[in-house]
Amino acid sequence: MGAAYGSVGVPQVRVTFGDSAYSLCESVTMPRLLTDEEIERQLGDLPAWGREGASIRAVYEAPDFPTAIRLVDEVAAEAEDMDHHPDIDIRWRTTTWVLSTHSEGGLTQLDIELAHRISQAAERLAVRATTRHG
């Protein structure tokens, strides 16, 4: 496998499988930091979430421990699909979620999207937010 550059300057990787060779483009788009106004506006649609510096945070209380773990499990699958992972603290039936795009040093659209997915999973499982912001 070797790296080369395509005609438009996009890095490519050449991969060989048996007698066949393929060129794969390596196109990675890094998320940009959101402005304070963008963050505040989007948090308006996420009442369980509040800003804490370069992160957003929410606390959810499940009816029991197994439901809290189901919430974490559902979100784990979503986070893997997004390749964006939350910081999670589990205390019996209470889960605390903190989101930030560490590679960018703050909040990006990935954090907002994952917050929506966490909120939707909590709603499906009848897990309630214990803090309200705004």
> What are the boundaries of each domain within the chain?
1-29, 36-129
**pTM of this structure:** 0.77
Q: What topology does CATH give the domain 36-129?
A: Gyrase A; domain 2 (3.30.1360)
Distant-in-sequence, close-in-space partners of 109: CB < 8 Å, separation ≥ 6: 31, 34
d(CA 2, CA 12): 8
On the question of pLDDT at 22 being above 60, the answer is no
Q: Name the residue with higher pLDDT: 133 or 105.
A: 105
CA gap 29, 45 in Å, rounded: 26
Residue pair 57/50 in contact (Cβ under 8 Å)? The answer is: yes
Residue with tokens 């999207």: 113
pLDDT of res. 25: 45
DSSP-derived 3-state class of residue 111: helix
